[in-house]
């Protein structure tokens, strides 16, 4: 049986392991951390449970199809529910808007609260669905690095509809053209952040993203986001996949332009305390799949091979600063997903991408899973995951930035909710671009690899395979088709479909 070594137990690495195990390969996954999931993990703090990273669940079929592929019943491993509310939006002038999952109800709510035509909202969501239907099969399910993709019937449909796909204008320009109310422009501009981009630079093609939430649906895993990871690890293990945690891959071994295996360093005995021995060994493999950030894969694991410098040196996506707060009070005004908008959105993005710091009045995202999973917080309390978009790590003074941002964020939330939030925090953990990079090997702590701030961004991501090194493959948010749970899972499918070992 041919052996496959997978570097990294992020969600794409786990999905890759499942797909390749279903094809009959002997699969081993090597993970430097003591846990699976990468960004899609969790932790506990003084009676509170927090999902560490991704907080929005869309396209659940991309998860459940892995169980079906393995001949399993998805509900035996994983359960989720569809949300009736997508998000609650708040502005400083006391405007509040509930984005209902029902598109008609949402459109009516927008018209009632802001005066923006419900018909215009419906038109936008219809156009979003059209863009997605045209682009899904072309960009999200197939490799852009195969001639067959560009000569397919799906590609022909894309060529014929090119003017309608928003490639030649920005997201903000398209939204300002359609909507009169600046709050609704801002609401839909927000979706650029779903892949770490700037709505004032990224193409309007990204207006496909709202389709996932409103036309297909937003969901919540009943045991938290981490249950996506846990259920897929369990599935992989049932297929014979072996996971090696606290085992760092230090080099991909290449001979005669083909991979021969990996060199790993693992902890032999955790019980030896300071005398713990680190053991290095060569693990032969017929193929290697890297779920590690593609930049670090080349820079750290392939030091003697030629590097695709043009792709690796592309500007990075945004990162984030996350405050995990245990809040000793409940807030009925908030739901699972909440956005407190900046009063100057354009300046917020200019500050992030041009000045490489965080705007003094940032948009604040608050995720509270205890709204649905009550045991995530003690009785009468809530677990707040507070995310602020931030630039990738470029040597900034993050300690200073975090201290200032924390004050600004607390002031903003306190103003909007009419309560001193600082005095309600009974525990805190902070994640910033530096720790994102160290924990997940994401280059510069960027959450989505390269940025999508130009119309060619889709073509500036590395392929899911190496054109120079035989049997070397790449998956995850830093390669095609992009970042986020759905695209990471899609990268595993594209890799598997093109797997030749």
pLDDT at 391: 97
Distance CA 298, CA 312 (A): 9
Amino acid 168: pLDDT: 80
CA-closest candidate to residue 15, choices 228, 216, 246, 217: 228
pLDDT at res. 100: 97
- In CATH, which superfamily holds the domain spanning 3-43+57-80+224-314+454-497? FAD/NAD(P)-binding domain (3.50.50.60)
What angle in degrees, to the nearest 10, is found between the helix axes of 11-22 and 226-238?
30
In this predicted structure, what is the pLDDT of residue 138? 66
pLDDT of residue 269: 47
Q: Domain segments of the chain: what residues?
A: 3-43+57-80+224-314+454-497, 107-178+191-214
* Calpha distance 361→21 (Å, rounded): 48
Q: What is the DSSP letter of 74?
A: G
Q: What pLDDT is stored for residue 451 in this prediction? A: 84
Q: Give tens-digit pLDDT for 441-498.
A: 899 999 998 888 877 666 678 999 999 999 999 999 999 998 899 999 999 999 999 9
Contact 380, 328 (CB under 8 A): yes
Token pair belonging to 440: 């997940």
Task: Mark the ranges of the chain whose per-residue pLDDT is less than 70.
Answer: 137-138, 143-152, 154-164, 267-278, 456-459, 501
pLDDT of residue 146: 67
Beta strands in 391-480, from DSSP E residues, in sequence order:
425-431, 472-474
What is d(CA 442, CA 435) in angstroms, rounded to the nearest whole number? 10
Instruction: Please list the helix, strand and coil fractions of the chain in percent, rounded to the nearest 5, in that order.
Output: 40, 25, 35
Residue pointed to by tokens 């739901």: 335
Q: What pLDDT shows up at residue 458? A: 66
Concatenated DSSP letters of 121-158: HHHHHHHHHHHHHHHIIIIISS-TTSHHHHTSHHHHHH
Q: How far is CA 266 from the centre of its chain?
A: 28
Q: Please state the pTM of the whole predicted model.
A: 0.93
Interatomic CA distance for residues 485 and 140, integer angstroms: 12
Cβ contact 5:471 at 8 Å: no
List the structure tokens of 257: 């332009």
């Amino acid at each position: 049986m041919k052996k496959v070594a997978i570097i990294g137990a992020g969600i794409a690495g786990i999905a890759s392991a499942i797909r390749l195990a279903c094809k009959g390969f002997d699969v081993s996954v090597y993970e430097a951390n003591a846990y699976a999931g990468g960004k899609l993990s969790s932790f506990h703090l003084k009676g509170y449970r927090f999902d560490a990273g991704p907080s929005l669940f869309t396209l659940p079929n991309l998860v459940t199809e892995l169980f079906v592929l393995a001949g399993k019943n998805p509900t035996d491993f994983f359960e989720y529910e569809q949300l009736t509310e997508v998000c609650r939006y708040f502005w400083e002038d006391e405007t509040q808007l509930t984005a209902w999952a029902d598109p008609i109800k949402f459109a009516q709510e927008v018209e009632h609260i802001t005066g923006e035509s419900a018909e215009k909202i419906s038109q936008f969501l219809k156009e979003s669905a059209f863009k997605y239907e045209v682009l899904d099969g072309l960009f999200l399910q197939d490799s852009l690095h195969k001639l067959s993709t560009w000569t397919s019937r799906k590609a022909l449909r894309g060529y014929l509809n090119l003017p309608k796909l928003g490639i030649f204008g920005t997201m903000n320009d398209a939204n300002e053209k359609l909507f009169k109310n600046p709050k609704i422009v801002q609401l839909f501009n927000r979706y650029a952040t779903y892949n770490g981009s700037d709505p004032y630079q990224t193409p309007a093609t990204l207006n496909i993203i709202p389709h996932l939430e409103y036309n297909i649906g937003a969901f919540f895993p009943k045991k938290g986001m981490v249950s996506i990871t846990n259920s897929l690890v369990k599935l992989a293990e049932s297929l014979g996949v072996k996971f090696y945690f606290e085992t760092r891959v230090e080099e991909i071994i290449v001979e005669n332009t083909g991979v021969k295996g990996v060199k790993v360093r693992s902890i032999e005995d955790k019980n030896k305390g300071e005398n713990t021995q680190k053991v290095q060994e060569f693990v032969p493999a017929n193929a290697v799949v890297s779920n590690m950030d593609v930049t670090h894969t080349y820079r750290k694991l392939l030091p003697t091979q030629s590097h695709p410098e043009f792709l690796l040196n592309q500007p990075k996506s945004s990162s984030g600063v996350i405050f995990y707060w245990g809040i000793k009070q409940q807030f009925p005004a908030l739901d699972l997903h909440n956005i407190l908008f900046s009063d100057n959105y354009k300046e917020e993005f200019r500050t992030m991408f041009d000045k490489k710091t965080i705007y003094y009045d940032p948009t604040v995202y608050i995720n509270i899973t205890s709204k649905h999973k009550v045991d995530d917080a003690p009785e009468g309390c809530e677990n707040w995951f507070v995310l602020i978009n931030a630039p990738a790590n470029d040597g900034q003074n993050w300690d200073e930035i975090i201290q200032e941002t924390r004050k600004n964020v607390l002031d903003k939330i306190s103003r909007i909710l009419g309560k001193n939030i600082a005095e309600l925090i009974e525990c805190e953990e902070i994640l910033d671009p530096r720790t994102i990079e160290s924990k997940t090997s994401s280059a510069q702590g960027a959450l989505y690899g390269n940025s999508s701030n130009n119309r060619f961004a889709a073509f500036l991501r590395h392929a899911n395979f190496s054109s120079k090194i035989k049997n070397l493959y790449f998956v995850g948010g830093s390669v095609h088709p992009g970042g986020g749970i759905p695209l990471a899972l899609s990268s595993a499918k594209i890799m598997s479909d093109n797997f030749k070992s």
